[in-house]
Amino acid sequence: MKYIVAIIQPHRLEQVLRELDDSQIYLRTVTQVMGCGRQKGVTEVYRGNVEHGNLLKKIKIEIAVNEDFVEPCVQALMKGARTGKVGDGKIFILDLHECIRIRTEERCDQAIG
């Protein structure tokens, strides 16, 4: 099992969720985060004082999947999130040791879906 973490642009969220649905990956956890990458941060000005920020709003999506869903999931994420501009984000894949469904106490592969 793998634990996939994707950081994407906020305005691509709708698209990404739709692509995931199309790939029959319905389970996910979404968080609002701030990111700092290659993309130039924004400049904000308050009472004439300029502040060069470097954190931008991003969306983090976490998805736990069985091995055979890893590639479809990555493809869906990429399809939905890619604009080709700096700031599109990253996908991180971690090993998932165990997964438990709280409601049923099912474990592992049964639990993940």
Partner 1 sequence: MNEVFQVKGEVKMNRKVLWLAASLVFLLAVPAGADTGGTVSPADTAWLLVSTALVMLMTPGLALFYGGMLRRKNVLSTIMQSFFIICLIGVEWVLWGYALSFGPDLGGVVGSLDRLGISLSGLEPRDTVPGFAFIMFQGMFAIITVALISGAVAERMKFSTFFIFSLIWSTIVYNLLCHWVWGGGWLAKLGFLDFAGGAVVHISSGASALVAAILIGRRKCYPEKVVRPHNLTMTVLGTGLLWFGWFGFNAGSAITSGSLASLAFTNTFLSACAAGLVWVFIDWTRIGKPTVLGICSGAIAGLAGVTPAAGFISPNSAMIIGAVAAILCYYGVSVLKPRLGYDDTLDVFGIHGLSGTWGTLAVGLFATKAANSAGADGLFFGNPRQLLIQIVGIAAAWVLSVVVTYGVLKILDVVMKLRVSEEEEDIGLDLTQHSESAYTILE
Ligand X SMILES: Nc1ncnc2c1ncn2[C@@H]1O[C@H](COP(=O)(O)OP(=O)(O)O)[C@@H](O)[C@H]1O
Binding site for a copy of itself (CB under 8 A): 2-3, 5-8, 17, 26-38, 54-55, 58, 60, 64, 74, 77-78, 81-103, 105, 111-112
* Nearest CA-CA partner of 113 in 71, 68, 66: 66
Angle among Cα 81, 86, 91 to the nearest 5 degrees reads 45
Q: Which residue has the tokens 């642009």?
A: 9
Of ligand X, partner 1, a copy of itself, none, which one does residue 68 interact with (CB within 5 to 8 Å by kind)? Answer: none
Q: Which residue is nearest to ligand X (CB)?
A: 35
CA distance 57 to 36: 9
Which residue, 52 or 97, has its beta carbon nearer to partner 1?
A: 52
Q: Which residue has the tokens 């040791």?
A: 97
- Residues 48-67 vs ligand X: string with x where CB under 6 A? --------x-x---xxx---
